[in-house]
Structure 1
C-alpha cells in the first residue's frame, strides 16, 4: 500500500529534521508514512532551497501524493514557485496551509493510517484549531 508522503520545509535544517523526527515518532506503530525534512540551504545556512525540497519530495513519493508543509515566508514562496513550474515536483504534490509542528504531526498520523491526500490535508489544516487552554 502506498502512503502519502510528507515534506517539511523550514529555514533551518535542524528545525525541519527535528519536526520530521517528532512526527515520525508520534505517528508510531504500523506502516509509517514517509516524512522528509527540507531545511536550510545546501551549504548548511539558514534559508530555503528548491533543490533540497525537490530531493525530499522525490524521496517520499510513493504515488499517493505529497503534502508539503512550510514554516514561513520564503519557504512558502519557494514551494509555490516549484509548484508553478509544473514539472519540478512529483505529480500530486500539494502545499498544505497548516501550523508547522502540529500540522506535521497530524499529517503523519493520518498518512500512516492510510489516509489519502485530502484526508492528510484536512487533518493538518484542522491543527489550526487545537486549543492549548
Structure 2
C-alpha cells in the first residue's frame, strides 16, 4: 500500500524550513510526509548532500517525492544527490519555495498522483498575491 506523494524541503536554513513545515502540516493535515534537508549536519547555514539523500528516502511512501530547493547551491546539491542516488519517482521541481511547497502539499493531501503534485508546485510560479 502506498501513501501520498512526499515533499522534501531543501534549504540553506533549518529554521526557515522548519517554519515552512509547520505551516505545511496545518495545510496537509499531517497526512503528507514533509521532510527537511536543511542546513548542514552540524547546524550551520548551508546544504548537505547526505541530508538530501536521507530525506528523499524518508519522504518516499511509494507514490513519489517532490524535492523543492530554496536557491543557488541547494539546487546544485540536490541535482548531484539525486543523480548519484536515483530513486524512481523522486522529482526535483523548479518552483517557488514557499508557494510551491504549499501547492504541492495541498495537492498531495487530496491523494493526487506525482505528476499532478509536480504540476501544482510548478504552477505556483504564476500565483499573484494581489
After TM superposition, is the score higher than 0.5?
yes
Deviation at residue 89 of structure 1 after TM alignment: 4.8
Q: State the Cα deviation string for residues 66-85 of structure 1 (Å, max 9, x = none).
A: 00000000000011111222
SS at match of 2:103: helix
SS in 2 for 1:17: helix
Q: Unaligned regions of 5+ residues in structure 1, if any? A: none
1:54-97 Cα deviation digits (max 9, x unpaired): 11111111111100000000000011111222xx2532100011
> In the aligned structure 2, how far is the partner of 1:132 from the partner of 1:84?
35
The aligned counterpart of 1:48 is 47
> CA shift at 1:27, angstroms?
2.2
TM-score by length of 2: 0.93
TM (norm. structure 1) is 0.91
CA contact (8 A) 1:54 1:89 kept: no
The alignment status of 1:2 with 2:3, answered yes or no, reads: yes
Instruction: Give the 3-state SS of the residue equivalent to 1:80 in structure 2.
Output: helix
Could you report, residue by residue, the CA deviation over 1:86-120 in whole angstroms, capped at 9, with x for unpaired residues? xx253210001110001101100111110111100
Asked if the contact 1:58–1:89 (Cα under 8 Å) also holds between the matched residues in 2, the reply is no
Structure 2 unaligned segments of length 5 or more: list them. none
Name 2:93's counterpart in structure 1.
96
RMSD: 1.2
